[in-house]
Amino acid sequence: QKEVEQDPGPLSVPEGAIVSLNCTYSNSAFQYFMWYRQYSRKGPELLMYTYSSGNKEDGRFTAQVDKSSKYISLFIRDSQPSDSATYLCAMSAKGFQKLVFGTGTRLLVSP
Amino acid sequence: DAGVTQSPTHLIKTRGQQVTLRCSPKSGHDTVSWYQQALGQGPQFIFQYYEEEERQRGNFPDRFSGHQFPNYSSELNVNALLLGDSALYLCASSPDSMNTEAFFGQGTRLTVV
Protein backbone atom coordinates (compact mmCIF):
# COMPACT_ATOMS: atom_id res chain seq x y z
CA GLN A 1 0.00 0.00 0.00
CA LYS A 2 1.29 3.44 -0.94
CA GLU A 3 1.72 6.02 1.82
CA VAL A 4 -0.28 8.54 -0.22
CA GLU A 5 -3.14 7.62 -2.53
CA GLN A 6 -4.47 9.95 -5.22
CA ASP A 7 -6.84 9.26 -8.08
CA PRO A 8 -4.91 9.85 -11.34
CA GLY A 9 -8.01 11.01 -13.25
CA PRO A 10 -8.34 12.59 -15.72
CA LEU A 11 -11.01 14.78 -14.19
CA SER A 12 -12.89 16.75 -16.85
CA VAL A 13 -15.05 19.75 -15.89
CA PRO A 14 -16.59 22.72 -17.70
CA GLU A 15 -15.25 26.21 -17.15
CA GLY A 16 -16.68 27.79 -14.00
CA ALA A 17 -17.21 24.51 -12.16
CA ILE A 18 -16.06 23.84 -8.61
CA VAL A 19 -13.31 21.23 -8.61
CA SER A 20 -12.59 18.88 -5.71
CA LEU A 21 -9.28 17.03 -5.58
CA ASN A 22 -8.46 14.58 -2.82
CA CYS A 23 -5.73 12.46 -1.27
CA THR A 24 -5.69 9.88 1.48
CA TYR A 25 -2.65 8.84 3.45
CA SER A 26 -1.64 6.17 5.91
CA ASN A 27 1.24 7.69 7.91
CA SER A 28 -0.12 9.41 11.02
CA ALA A 29 3.22 11.22 11.46
CA PHE A 30 2.49 13.53 8.54
CA GLN A 31 1.92 17.09 9.77
CA TYR A 32 2.68 19.27 6.75
CA PHE A 33 0.42 19.10 3.70
CA MET A 34 0.93 20.72 0.34
CA TRP A 35 -0.71 20.96 -3.04
CA TYR A 36 1.42 21.50 -6.13
CA ARG A 37 0.33 22.27 -9.67
CA GLN A 38 2.41 20.86 -12.50
CA TYR A 39 2.03 21.79 -16.13
CA SER A 40 3.27 19.36 -18.74
CA ARG A 41 7.05 19.00 -18.74
CA LYS A 42 7.47 21.66 -16.04
CA GLY A 43 8.47 21.57 -12.40
CA PRO A 44 5.81 21.52 -9.64
CA GLU A 45 4.56 24.91 -8.44
CA LEU A 46 3.43 25.21 -4.82
CA LEU A 47 -0.23 26.26 -4.50
CA MET A 48 -1.15 25.67 -0.89
CA TYR A 49 0.69 24.77 2.31
CA THR A 50 -1.10 23.70 5.48
CA TYR A 51 0.20 22.65 8.86
CA SER A 52 -1.87 20.10 10.82
CA SER A 53 -5.67 20.07 10.50
CA GLY A 54 -7.97 22.82 9.31
CA ASN A 55 -8.81 24.94 6.30
CA LYS A 56 -6.78 27.48 4.37
CA GLU A 57 -8.06 29.74 1.63
CA ASP A 58 -6.10 31.64 -1.01
CA GLY A 59 -8.10 33.27 -3.77
CA ARG A 60 -9.98 30.60 -5.70
CA PHE A 61 -8.19 27.79 -3.84
CA THR A 62 -9.17 26.20 -0.51
CA ALA A 63 -7.19 23.43 1.16
CA GLN A 64 -8.69 21.21 3.83
CA VAL A 65 -6.93 18.74 6.10
CA ASP A 66 -8.72 16.15 8.23
CA LYS A 67 -6.03 14.32 10.18
CA SER A 68 -8.54 12.12 12.00
CA SER A 69 -9.60 10.65 8.65
CA LYS A 70 -6.15 11.00 7.04
CA TYR A 71 -7.79 12.87 4.17
CA ILE A 72 -6.87 16.12 2.44
CA SER A 73 -8.69 18.10 -0.22
CA LEU A 74 -8.13 20.98 -2.59
CA PHE A 75 -11.10 22.93 -3.91
CA ILE A 76 -10.87 25.20 -6.93
CA ARG A 77 -13.71 27.67 -7.42
CA ASP A 78 -14.65 29.18 -10.78
CA SER A 79 -12.27 26.86 -12.61
CA GLN A 80 -10.57 28.22 -15.73
CA PRO A 81 -9.04 26.47 -18.76
CA SER A 82 -5.66 27.71 -17.48
CA ASP A 83 -6.19 25.49 -14.40
CA SER A 84 -5.79 22.45 -16.65
CA ALA A 85 -2.75 20.70 -15.22
CA THR A 86 -1.74 17.84 -12.95
CA TYR A 87 -2.32 18.48 -9.25
CA LEU A 88 -0.01 16.74 -6.82
CA CYS A 89 -0.61 16.38 -3.12
CA ALA A 90 2.48 16.10 -0.94
CA MET A 91 3.10 15.69 2.74
CA SER A 92 5.89 15.38 5.25
CA ALA A 93 6.42 14.54 8.87
CA LYS A 94 8.90 17.33 9.53
CA GLY A 95 8.95 20.52 7.55
CA PHE A 96 10.18 19.99 4.03
CA GLN A 97 12.38 17.03 4.72
CA LYS A 98 11.39 14.17 2.41
CA LEU A 99 8.14 15.16 0.78
CA VAL A 100 5.95 12.15 -0.05
CA PHE A 101 3.83 12.77 -3.14
CA GLY A 102 0.67 11.28 -4.54
CA THR A 103 0.66 10.19 -8.17
CA GLY A 104 -1.13 13.38 -9.23
CA THR A 105 -4.61 14.03 -10.65
CA ARG A 106 -4.84 15.34 -14.19
CA LEU A 107 -7.47 18.10 -14.44
CA LEU A 108 -8.98 19.22 -17.74
CA VAL A 109 -11.14 22.38 -17.73
CA SER A 110 -12.99 22.88 -21.00
CA PRO A 111 -14.10 26.34 -22.22
CA ASP B 1 15.44 36.37 -8.05
CA ALA B 2 16.02 33.55 -10.54
CA GLY B 3 14.42 30.88 -8.38
CA VAL B 4 15.71 27.33 -8.54
CA THR B 5 17.68 26.70 -11.71
CA GLN B 6 18.65 23.32 -13.12
CA SER B 7 20.94 22.33 -15.95
CA PRO B 8 20.83 20.87 -18.47
CA THR B 9 17.13 20.88 -19.36
CA HIS B 10 17.35 17.76 -21.51
CA LEU B 11 19.89 14.98 -21.73
CA ILE B 12 20.21 11.74 -23.67
CA LYS B 13 22.62 9.09 -22.41
CA THR B 14 23.44 5.49 -23.26
CA ARG B 15 23.02 2.57 -20.87
CA GLY B 16 26.06 2.15 -18.65
CA GLN B 17 27.15 5.77 -18.90
CA GLN B 18 27.36 8.26 -16.05
CA VAL B 19 25.51 11.56 -15.77
CA THR B 20 25.80 14.71 -13.64
CA LEU B 21 22.88 17.07 -13.13
CA ARG B 22 23.23 20.51 -11.53
CA CYS B 23 21.04 22.69 -9.36
CA SER B 24 21.33 26.24 -8.03
CA PRO B 25 18.93 26.92 -5.15
CA LYS B 26 16.76 29.96 -4.66
CA SER B 27 18.56 32.88 -3.06
CA GLY B 28 18.61 32.52 0.73
CA HIS B 29 17.94 28.77 0.66
CA ASP B 30 20.54 26.42 2.11
CA THR B 31 18.84 23.03 1.76
CA VAL B 32 18.59 21.15 -1.52
CA SER B 33 16.55 18.02 -2.22
CA TRP B 34 16.49 15.86 -5.33
CA TYR B 35 13.50 13.95 -6.69
CA GLN B 36 12.92 11.55 -9.56
CA GLN B 37 9.62 11.74 -11.40
CA ALA B 38 8.78 8.91 -13.80
CA LEU B 39 6.14 9.53 -16.45
CA GLY B 40 2.66 9.56 -14.93
CA GLN B 41 3.97 9.30 -11.36
CA GLY B 42 4.55 11.68 -8.49
CA PRO B 43 8.10 12.73 -7.61
CA GLN B 44 10.09 10.27 -5.51
CA PHE B 45 12.56 11.57 -2.93
CA ILE B 46 16.19 10.69 -3.70
CA PHE B 47 18.12 12.60 -1.03
CA GLN B 48 18.55 15.93 0.71
CA TYR B 49 21.69 17.99 1.32
CA TYR B 50 22.31 20.50 4.08
CA GLU B 51 25.64 22.00 5.11
CA GLU B 52 27.34 19.96 2.39
CA GLU B 53 26.22 16.69 3.98
CA GLU B 54 23.60 14.17 2.88
CA ARG B 55 21.00 14.53 5.60
CA GLN B 56 18.33 12.12 4.47
CA ARG B 57 18.07 9.53 1.72
CA GLY B 58 15.19 7.80 -0.01
CA ASN B 59 15.05 4.27 -1.36
CA PHE B 60 17.54 4.66 -4.20
CA PRO B 61 20.63 2.55 -4.91
CA ASP B 62 24.18 3.74 -4.33
CA ARG B 63 24.46 4.48 -8.06
CA PHE B 64 22.76 7.72 -7.13
CA SER B 65 25.08 10.11 -5.32
CA GLY B 66 25.26 13.80 -4.74
CA HIS B 67 27.21 16.73 -3.56
CA GLN B 68 26.53 20.16 -2.15
CA PHE B 69 29.01 23.00 -2.54
CA PRO B 70 29.76 25.85 -0.10
CA ASN B 71 27.53 28.18 -2.17
CA TYR B 72 24.65 25.69 -1.56
CA SER B 73 24.46 24.56 -5.19
CA SER B 74 24.24 20.83 -5.70
CA GLU B 75 24.96 18.03 -8.13
CA LEU B 76 23.23 14.70 -8.64
CA ASN B 77 25.36 11.93 -10.12
CA VAL B 78 24.02 8.68 -11.50
CA ASN B 79 26.43 5.90 -12.46
CA ALA B 80 25.89 2.82 -14.64
CA LEU B 81 22.70 4.22 -16.15
CA LEU B 82 19.77 1.88 -16.70
CA LEU B 83 16.83 2.32 -19.05
CA GLY B 84 14.65 2.68 -15.95
CA ASP B 85 16.56 5.79 -14.89
CA SER B 86 14.80 7.72 -17.66
CA ALA B 87 12.75 10.35 -15.84
CA LEU B 88 12.38 14.01 -14.95
CA TYR B 89 14.86 14.88 -12.21
CA LEU B 90 13.72 17.70 -9.98
CA CYS B 91 15.65 19.82 -7.55
CA ALA B 92 13.89 21.62 -4.68
CA SER B 93 15.32 24.19 -2.31
CA SER B 94 14.15 25.50 1.05
CA PRO B 95 15.55 27.42 4.00
CA ASP B 96 16.42 24.93 6.70
CA SER B 97 15.75 27.28 9.56
CA MET B 98 12.03 27.59 8.90
CA ASN B 99 9.30 25.19 7.88
CA THR B 100 8.33 27.13 4.82
CA GLU B 101 7.76 26.41 1.18
CA ALA B 102 10.03 24.21 -0.90
CA PHE B 103 10.49 25.58 -4.42
CA PHE B 104 11.12 23.31 -7.38
CA GLY B 105 13.17 23.90 -10.47
CA GLN B 106 11.99 23.10 -13.98
CA GLY B 107 13.75 19.78 -13.92
CA THR B 108 16.17 17.89 -16.14
CA ARG B 109 14.61 15.34 -18.46
CA LEU B 110 16.98 12.39 -18.74
CA THR B 111 16.49 9.80 -21.44
CA VAL B 112 18.57 6.63 -21.31
CA VAL B 113 18.75 4.67 -24.57
Q: What is the pLDDT of residues B2-22, one digit of tens each?
A: 799 999 999 999 999 999 999
The whole-number pLDDT of residue B99 equals 57
The whole-number pLDDT of residue A2 equals 85
Helix, strand, coil percentages (3-state) for chain B, rounded to 5, are 5, 50, 45
A80: confidence class by pLDDT, cuts 50, 70, 90: very high
Which letter does DSSP use for residue A82 in this model? Answer: G
List Cα–Cα distances, B111 to A21, A27, A40, B82, B108, in angstroms. Answer: 31, 33, 17, 10, 10
Residue ranges in chain B whose pLDDT is less than 70: 1, 96-100
The whole-number pLDDT of residue A41 equals 83
**Under a CB-based contact definition with an 8 Å cutoff, are residues B32 and B68 in contact?**
yes
- Does A55 have pLDDT greater than 70? yes
Q: How far off is chain A from B104, nearest CA to CA, in Å?
A: 6
Strand pairing of B74-78 and B53-57? Answer: unpaired
Q: List the beta strands (DSSP E) in B9-73.
A: 10-13, 19-24, 31-37, 44-50, 53-57, 64-68
Ramachandran angles phi, psi of A93, nearest 5°: -85, -30
Which letter does DSSP use for residue A8 in this model? Answer: -
- Does A32 have pLDDT greater than 60? yes
Rounded to whole angstroms, the Cα distance separating B49 from B22 reads: 13
Residues 36-95 of A with CB under 8 A from B: 36, 41-46, 49, 51, 88, 90, 94-95
The whole-number pLDDT of residue B98 equals 55
Average pLDDT over residues A88-103: 86
Which letter does DSSP use for residue A17 in this model? Answer: -
Q: How far off is chain A from B33, nearest CA to CA, in Å?
A: 8
Average pLDDT over residues A66-89: 97
Residue A98, chain B, CB below 8 Å: the answer is yes
Rounded to whole angstroms, the Cα distance separating B109 from B21 reads: 10
List Cα–Cα distances, B99 to A109, B18, B83, in angstroms. Answer: 33, 34, 36
Cis peptide bond prior to B25, omega within 30° of 0: no
The whole-number pLDDT of residue B14 equals 98
Average pLDDT over residues A22-51: 93
- Is A96 close to B99, i.e. CB distance below 8 A? yes
Average pLDDT over residues A65-94: 95
Residue B104 is nearest to which of A6, A43, A100, comparing CB atoms?
A43
Q: What is the pLDDT of residues B27-36, one digit of tens each?
A: 989 999 999 9
